[in-house]
Amino acid sequence: MEKMSETNQKSKKFKYGANSLVSVIAVIAIIVFIELISFSNAKQFDLTKNKKYTLSNQTVKVLNQLKSKVKAYAFLTQSNTLKLEYQERLNLYKTQNSNFEFEFIDLNKKPLIAEKYNVAFNGETVFEYEGKQQHIRDITEEAITNALVKLTNNKQKTIYFTTGHGEYNLDGKDANGLSAFKKYIGNEGYQTKPIQLFSVPNLPEDMKALVVAGPEKDFFVREINYIKKFMANGGPVFFLLRHDKSERIHEMLLTLGINTGKNLVVDKLSKMLGGDYFTPIIGAFGKHAITENFDVSLQFGMSRTVTKTKTPPSETDVTELCFTSNNAWAETDLKRLKEKNEAAIDENDIKGPVSLAVAATIKSPAKLFNIEEKNAEKDLNSRVIVIGNPDFISNAMLGVAGNLNFSLNIINWILEDEQLISINRVTEGKPETIVLSSTDALFVMAISLFLIPLLSIVLGIKIYITRKNMS
C-alpha cells in the first residue's frame, strides 16, 4: 500500500515536472519566435538633434536601387577605436536594404584574406558587387555611399597612360614601376590601359583621362596636338614631369597659365628628417578639393617647381597645391649641380616655400588652344594636374607618407568623382563648451561628491535610529 502511494507520488511529480518543462520550452520557443520577428523588422527612432543615426535621403535612394547583394569587408584591427561607430553605420545600411551585407575582418588575425583583397590599411573596406570591387579608407556615410554609387554605375572609366617616351612603366614591379599605383586605381573602380599616342590613328573613345607619367623624351607635335584635342573635348590630363625634360609639354602648359620651372628643388628639412636633399617634403597645401582635410605630409622625388604664371589666361583657374617648407629652394644652376654636385641658394634661385604641383580647370580649352573641335561649342571644361616629379607615385614612394591618398584624390578629382554624392549635414555644430570657474568647480564637486551622498547617509541613520527606538 505504502509502495503504491510512493509510486503514485513519483508519477505525479514526473507529470508535474514534465508539464513544467513543456511549458518552459513552449515559452522559450515563443520568445525566440518573437525575437526573430522583431530582429528582422526592427524600426529605429533617432531622437538626436542632428539625426546623427539616420541615413541621408541620398543614401536611402542609392540603397533602394541595389538589386543584388553588396558585401562589405571592413578590415579593422580589434583595437581600432572607430569600429563601434563604423559597425553602427554599416548596420543602418543593412537595415535599409538586406542586400547590403558586411563583415569585419581583423587585419592582424587574417592577413591572408587582407592580401587576397589587396588591403594593407587598417580601416580599409572592400565592397564587392557583381564581381566588381571598390575600396574606401574612410568610414563616413559619404565615402560608403559614393563607393556604392561607383559600384552600381555600369560604366567603368578607363584611364590611359602614355608610353613610348621612357615613362614609368604601368606594369613595372621595380622601384620605378607603377604596378602598385595601377592596383590602387583598380581598387577605386577604374580601368587602366597604356597608349602610344604617336601610333594611334584616333584617340580611343573610352579614354576618360590621360596620365603622362615622367616621360624621358619629349613628345612629338602630333602627340601634343592629340593631348590638346583630348582636352578640348573636356578630357582631363594628369602630368607628372621630370625636372629637366618635356620642353613641348612645358610650352603647352605655359599657354594654360602653368609654369614648370627649369630647376631642381633642394630641401634641407628632408635631409634633417632622414631623407635626401632632393626628396622634398610637402607639409603645406593650397585650398582645393584634392587637399581638403589633408593633414599628412607628402614626400616627392627629384622635383621641379610647378607654379601659376603671373598672368594666366582668364579661361583657366589654377591653384597651387603643394608647398615645401621655408628650408627648401629651387636650384636653377643645374649645370653646377650636375658637374660639381654642389648647390647653394643665391639670387637666381627661388626661395622656399616653393610650389611643386598645380591643379587647373580650363574653361573652353578648344578656344584657348585655338583648335576647332566638334564639341568646342559645348563649352566643355578640362581638368589638369601638373606635378613636378613622377617618383611619388612609383612603387618605391607610393606608400610613403600621404602619397597614396594624395594621388588617389587626384585621380578622383580629374574624373570628377571626388564627391559623387555630397552628404551635407550638421553633424558637428558649434562646440558646446563649459568653462568652469574655480567657484563653479567647487560647487559641482560639493554637490556631486559630498552633499548628495551625505544626505542619504544622514537620512538613513535617522530612520534607522527612529525605528530602533520605536521597536
Residue 8 binds other proteins, judged by CB under 8 A: no
Closest CA to 336 of 346, 323, 327: 346
Ramachandran region, residue 141 (left: φ > 0; alpha: ψ -120 to 50; beta: rest): alpha
CB closer to other proteins, 175 vs 426: 426
Binds other proteins by CB under 8 A, chosen from 6, 7, 8, 13: 13
Interaction of residue 459 with other proteins, rule CB under 8 A: yes
Alpha-carbon gap, residue 151 to 154, rounded angstroms? 7
Q: Could you say whether residue 439 binds other proteins (CB under 8 A)?
A: no
Residue type present at position 399: G
205 lies in the site for other proteins, by CB under 8 A: no
Candidates 16-24, 158-166, 208-216, 299-307; binding stretch for other proteins (CB under 8 A): 16-24
Among 53, 198, 220, 277, binds other proteins (CB under 8 A): 53
Using CA atoms, how far apart are residues 2 and 54, in angstroms rounded to an integer?
71
Nearest-approach distance from CB 434 to other proteins, in angstroms: 5
* Partners of 249 in the β-ladder: none
- List the interface residues with other proteins, window 390-409 (CB under 8 A): none
Verify binding: residue 6, other proteins, rule CB under 8 A.
Answer: no
Binding mask 105-144 for other proteins (x = CB under 8 A): -x--------------------------------------
Q: Check: CB of residue 415 under 8 Å from CB of residue 40.
A: no
Residue 222 in contact with other proteins, rule: CB under 8 A? no
Out of 6, 10, 11, 35, point to the residue binding other proteins (CB under 8 A).
35
Please tell me what DSSP assigns to residue 207: E
**Sheet hosting strand 70-75, strand order edge to edge:** 100-105, 70-75, 124-129, 132-136
379 binds other proteins per the rule CB under 8 A:
no
Contact in structure between 422 and 289 (CB atoms under 8 Å):
no
Nearer to other proteins, 173 or 450 (CB): 450
Q: How far is CA 401 from the centre of its chain?
A: 14
Q: How many residues bind other proteins (CB under 8 A)?
A: 57
Asked if 289 touches other proteins (CB under 8 A), the answer is no
Binding of residue 18 to other proteins (CB under 8 A): no
Beta bridge mates, 237? 210, 384
Rule CB under 8 A: is residue 467 a binding residue for other proteins?
A: yes
Per CB under 8 A, contacts with other proteins among 76-95 are 78
Rounded Cα gap, residues 450 and 454, in angstroms = 6
Interacting span for other proteins (CB under 8 A) from 134-142, 209-217, 405-413, 438-446: 438-446
Output the smallest distance, CB 180 to other proteins, in A.
Answer: 30
Report the alpha-carbon angle 177-181-184, nearest 5: 150
Q: Choose which of 7, 8, 38, 64 interacts with other proteins (CB under 8 A).
A: 38
Report if residue 460 touches other proteins, rule: CB under 8 A.
Answer: yes
* Among positions 11, 18, 25, 28, the unique one binding other proteins when judged by CB under 8 A: 28
DSSP assignments along 69-115, one per residue: -EEEEEE--TT-TTHHHHHHHHHHHHHH-TTEEEEEE-TTT-HHHHH
Among 7, 8, 11, 20, binds other proteins (CB under 8 A): 20
Answer yes or no whether residue 25 interacts with other proteins by CB under 8 A.
no
Assess 293 for contact with other proteins (CB under 8 A): no
**Residue 442 sits in the site that holds other proteins (CB under 8 A):** no
Plot region of 401 (φ>0 → left; ψ -120 to 50 → alpha; else → beta): left
Of 274 and 431, nearer to other proteins (C-beta) is 431
Distance CA 318, CA 359 (A): 6
Dist CA 64 CA 67 (whole Å): 8
Omega of the bond leading into 365 within 30 degrees of 0 (cis): no
Nearest partner of 71 among 131, 121, 120, judged by Cα = 131
Q: Of 267-275, 279-287, 356-364, 434-442, which part binds other proteins (CB under 8 A)?
A: 434-442
Residue 98, all three cell numbers: 538586406
Q: Around Cβ 336, how many Cβ atoms within 10 Å? A: 13
Which is closer to other proteins, CB of 109 or CB of 173?
109
In the complex, which residues of this chain contact other proteins (CB under 8 A)?
12-13, 16-17, 20, 23-24, 27-28, 31, 34-35, 38-39, 41-49, 52-53, 78, 103-104, 106, 427-436, 440-441, 444-445, 447-450, 452-453, 456-457, 459-461, 463-464, 467
